[in-house]
Amino acid sequence: MDLKYIDIGINLMGKQFAFDRDKIVEESLEKGVGLIITGTDMRSNKDAASYLKAKHPENVWCTCGLHPHNADRWNPDYKRDFTEFIRKNKENIVALGEAGLDYDRMFSTKENQQNCFSDILELAEEMDLPLFLHERDAGRDFINLMKEHPSVCSRSVVHCFTGLKDMARQYLQLGCYIGITGWICDDRRNHDAVEAVKLIPMERLMIETDAPYLTPRNIKGLSSRNVPWNIAYVAQKIAEIKETDTEEVRRITLQNTKKFFGL
């Protein structure tokens, strides 16, 4: 099957897809959208890997991670189980993550978030896997930890970017890729992200939905639950911002994604 897009971040194992998960995957693939299922804790990591083993869908992969909201769970036993799980399921896991720092709502302490993130950066080095990363209101600490692991920077994508142009510039200087979601379509709050997208070179961009969240606004007929094929609207908006055509955005971001994840 020829893919038009690969959605690098879909929360497929969440409860909002529990009743029609197979249908979402089937329709996505019919529309030419490959999927990378986001892992945020051991339950979602295991659910995603089990789903792929049971269904064997072509052009669907998963990550394995611990979201910073869940970092208080990280301890030597959790790390051991996490590492062993990756080793046993590496055929389906294309990246480590979601991982990173989130100081917005502080569901886990800063210390635990930083320890977890640092350990996962080390695991990425040891296992030779790319990273699917999350950062919110934690730019300075995030950058400093990344600098301690320079070998993984060019194999990292900071997903769901909504921040300032200067933050995007710092990610790019590290060598990171940047993921853009339907947030970019929301004219009420996308000004900073629009300016950042103007700065980001096409060869360092990837696109995603973060479904079921961040449904593109101002698109008639879309339900409140985001779905992977809405990724086309993200590509259209980026094309508008960069004053190019959607096909160019689609082609280059697909190429970037395949190369980055080794697909």
| Structural domains of the chain, ranges and CATH numbers in brackets | 5-261 (3.20.20.140)
The residue to which tokens 């210390």 are assigned: 111
| Cis? peptide before 91, omega within 30° of 0 | no
pLDDT for the residue numbered 147: 97
Range 25-40 average pLDDT: 98
Range 203-224 average pLDDT: 92
pLDDT at 217 over 90: no
Report which residue type is found at 59: N
pLDDT for the residue numbered 9: 98
Q: Which helix (H) or strand (E) holds 60?
A: strand 60-64
| Cα–Cα distance measured from residue 93 to residue 232, given in angstroms and rounded to the nearest whole number | 25
Token pair in block for residue 33:
């959208």
Range 233-247 average pLDDT: 98
- List 135's β-bridge partners, or say none: 101
Q: Are 196 and 161 in contact (CB under 8 A)?
A: yes
| Cα–Cα distance measured from residue 192 to residue 206, given in angstroms and rounded to the nearest whole number | 18
pLDDT for the residue numbered 56: 83
Token pair in block for residue 212:
């079921």
Q: pLDDT-derived band of residue 220, with 50, 70 and 90 as boundaries? A: confident
- List 96's β-bridge partners, or say none: 64, 131
pTM of the model: 0.97
pLDDT at 218 over 80: no
Range 118-131 average pLDDT: 98
Percentage of the residues of the chain whose pLDDT score is greater than 70: 100
